[in-house]
Structure 1
């Protein structure tokens, strides 16, 4: 299941330096609205519906967690910043920038302010041809036809010629140079959410810890002394099995593997939860397993302070987590940091996300990507 929406936007400009304005628009959309994943070539097309200078047009695919109306509000602000003033009473007119929501997943939206899919999509080659270049598995939810079919049937005979190209912002972050990236962090740090976003934005195979299927977890939070050892053993067995299977199975359609945990977390948690004699036995078993496990090419630790962790845990509302104490979380953070310090051959990046919200704030998500990019460089 996708954690983000796939939004197709159509961009057009026929005033000023048209290509430069489109480039500025793409940058603002990426910084403020959502992650720009793909951009079509730039087409030069005649003005549609009125006499004016020709347009430069392109289409782009954007990932966002926002609603359609929220996206509309954001793009109207960007249009205004780039010199566009909308006036429905005047009708079609020359403009520095025009941003239209063409598709939002395969949803149908009909309100006074917004119609999705765009009602004139099938009549405009300057929208259809760039849309086709995005190579999406998309079907018009009303007409039940894909983009090539709509192009074949359109009555628009206007000329659309490719005149340029705009680079997608993510092309500068070569995560696919890695085979395996692990995101780690304390309980409530946001590692699973970030793993989802990275996997969707960078076409990666996603490996998520199956904690929800562990029958000992709710019991452990009620009686730690009794259930700590079976809990840690069951986690170790499941993590070993999952990582062994998923990292061994190459996916031709994905560029790399991204996981929301690394198996060494088993030893970190076990050291906190187990009695001394149980931990010695556990560590011996873990050492045998750990030698056989592939190590991540990049290990990203998301640090959050304890107060923020407690807020996140409360917010996500898992009943068995609500009694987790601050000192328990602090011990886990210490365990992770001690582990990181001891690893000389592990490619580690620590990012403090205590003051970030990379779900609601696109700029916070881009900050994390920039930190990863710096590490790569």
Structure 2
């Protein structure tokens, strides 16, 4: 029996959240909701010229995430045991805080708040954590051209924003932080089983739980 019905799995760029979501959903007949980041036409330009394209790329993500989530919620399959997604709507605010200047962020936050209050909250929020060296290695390995401009500082800033988010929302839903720096859940079945058990078959009573592997 699964402990949660609406599960979010997030993490920094290159941590493997989408891969893990796909494996869990396929094995357990779950509704799979993936972020369609590749459809954002401004993303490659943003990585090259972040100051110029930051507001445009964040507003495009905001609109896309809202449209996708709303459509998926309306199309819920009653025969699926749970929903699993590789992003949460709050992600929009986390990344925007790092990429926008203060004036742009205040304007952006007004649009965000209008939408966010109407969105459903997850039953379990999972954050996959890996150190920056591992993230940079993963980013290089998967070879997306527009990601090769990402710096260690940018990844550290995103990580910091996530941890601030956890402090602010620790009473909103259970937060599970999984330190997977030393795991290879793609090729190692034992590593995958550890994460599977932690995410699907374990109940958490504390606002924030952190597990190391």
Same structural fold, with TM-score higher than 0.5 when normalized by the shorter chain: yes
1:293 lines up with 2:124 in the alignment: no
Select the structure with the greater relative contact order (CA < 8 A; seq sep ≥ 6): 2
Contact 2:127–2:177, Cα closer than 8 Å, also in 1 = yes
CA drift at 1:323: 1.5
- What is the CA deviation profile of residues 160-211 of structure 1, one whole-angstrom value per residue up to 9, with x for unaligned ones? xxxxxxxxxxxxxx32x53311100000010000000110111101000000
1:348 lines up with 2:192 in the alignment: no
Aligned pair 1:186/2:2, yes or no? no
Which of 109, 112, 134 lines up with 1:283 in the alignment? 109
Q: Higher helix fraction: Structure 1 or Structure 2?
A: 2
Counterparts of 1:321 and 1:285, CA distance in 2 = 27
Structure 2 residue aligned with 1:331: 157
Instruction: Give yes or no for contact 2:24–2:196 (8 Å, CA) kept in 1.
Output: no
Q: TM-score, normalised by structure 1?
A: 0.53
In the TM superposition, residue 254 of structure 1 has moved relative to its aligned partner by 1.7
Secondary structure of 1:375's counterpart equals coil
- Consecutive unaligned residues of structure 2, counting only runs of 5 or more, are 206-213
**Aligned partner of residue 245 in structure 1, secondary structure:** helix
Within the alignment, does 1:357 sit opposite 2:168 as a pair?
no
1:115-134 superposed matches below 5 A: none
Q: What is the CA-CA distance between 1:376 and the residue it aligns to? A: 4.9
1:375 lines up with 2:200 in the alignment? no
The alpha-carbon deviation at position 248 of structure 1 amounts to: 2.2
Secondary structure (helix, strand or coil) at the match of 1:322 reads helix
Long gaps (5+) in structure 1: 1-173
Out of 33, 41, 56, the position equivalent to 1:230 is 56
Distance 2:21 2:107 in 1: 32
1:305 is aligned to 2:131 = yes
Following the alignment from structure 1 to structure 2, what is the Cα–Cα distance between the partners of residues 328 and 375? 33
Q: Which runs of 4 or more aligned residues in structure 1 lie more than 6 Å from their structure 2 counterparts after TM superposition? A: none
Q: Deviations over 1:240-281 (max 9, x none)?
A: 110111022121332221100001000000000001100000
8 Å Cα contact 1:209/1:239 also seen in 2: yes
Q: Of 122, 125, 141, which aligns to 1:315?
A: 141
Alpha-carbon separation, structure 1, partners of 2:81 and 2:196: 17
CA distance in 2, matches of 1:295, 1:353: 25
TM-score with structure 2 setting the length: 0.92
State whether residues 247 and 257 of structure 1, in contact with CA within 8 Å, keep that contact through their aligned partners in structure 2.
Answer: no
Q: CA deviation at 1:218?
A: 0.3
